[in-house]
Structure 1
Amino acid sequence: MGEVLVVYELDKAAATRASRRVPRGGERPVRRVHAAPAAPGTPAVTGPRTLCGKDTFAMETTGRKPSEHPESPWYPEEYASAVCPDCDAVMET
């Protein structure tokens, strides 16, 4: 597998409001944390689908690359309770 990026599936109600532009590190209405392969030739851009098959179009890219944090879980620890179990299973293999 090539480069993988972490993306946030936001709460639908919050995704339509201006509050979506919350600064990094602030409170975010994160529904689920997913892993998505990078688009071919552009390692900072997600491909069209997460590892569990969801469309990444409306998801927020976090800029986190699990390969840059090999000693840590692939997801940000503060969102451990929101990790997609399907993406997690793929990342564990």
Structure 2
Amino acid sequence: MSGIVVVYEMSGDDERSVLRVHAAPAAPGMTTVPGPRTFCGRDTFAMEAASWTPSGDPGSPWYPPQDASRICPTCDDAADGG
């Protein structure tokens, strides 16, 4: 999973809370910078990259466990190889 960067879709209000957690392929030659689009096709420009790095361990989630309720189902399918 080293080619996945976790990005947060944030609310536009003053609290800047996480609305949705997306997965994006890493930018070419980078490991912590997302490419221009998430796996579900959303633009990553206005999203915030997470400090979380997906584990390469089989069965480990690509997303931070505390954000499990906010993951994008399309990104989840793509990140899990589905």
Shorter-chain TM-score range: 0.7 to 0.9
Q: Equivalent residue for 1:43?
A: 31
Larger strand proportion of the pair: 1
Post-superposition offset of 1:63: 2.5
Residue type at the aligned position of 1:74: W
Runs of 5+ consecutive residues of structure 1 not aligned to the other structure: 21-28
For 1:69 and 1:10, the matched residues in 2 are separated by 26
SS in 1 for 2:38: coil
* CA offsets 1:57-85 (integer angstroms, 9 cap, x no match): 1111013221x352521111111110000
Which 10-residue stretch deviates more, 33-42 or 70-79?
A: 70-79
CA contact (8 A) 1:50 1:87 kept: yes
For 2:48 and 2:23, the matched residues in 1 are separated by 11
For 1:46 and 1:90, the matched residues in 2 are separated by 15
Runs of 5+ consecutive residues of structure 2 not aligned to the other structure: none
In the alignment of these two chains, the number of paired residues is: 80
Larger helix proportion of the pair: 1
- TM-score of the two chains, using structure 1 as the length reference: 0.75
Question: Taking structure 1 as reference, are residues 2 and 77 closer, same or farther at Cα in structure 2, changes over 3 Å only?
Answer: closer
Post-superposition offset of 1:11: 0.9
Structure of higher CA gyration radius: 1
SS in 2 for 1:44: coil
Q: Equivalent residue for 1:25?
A: none
Q: Which residue, 9, 34, 48 being the options, matches 1:60?
A: 48
CA contact (8 A) 1:38 1:45 kept: yes
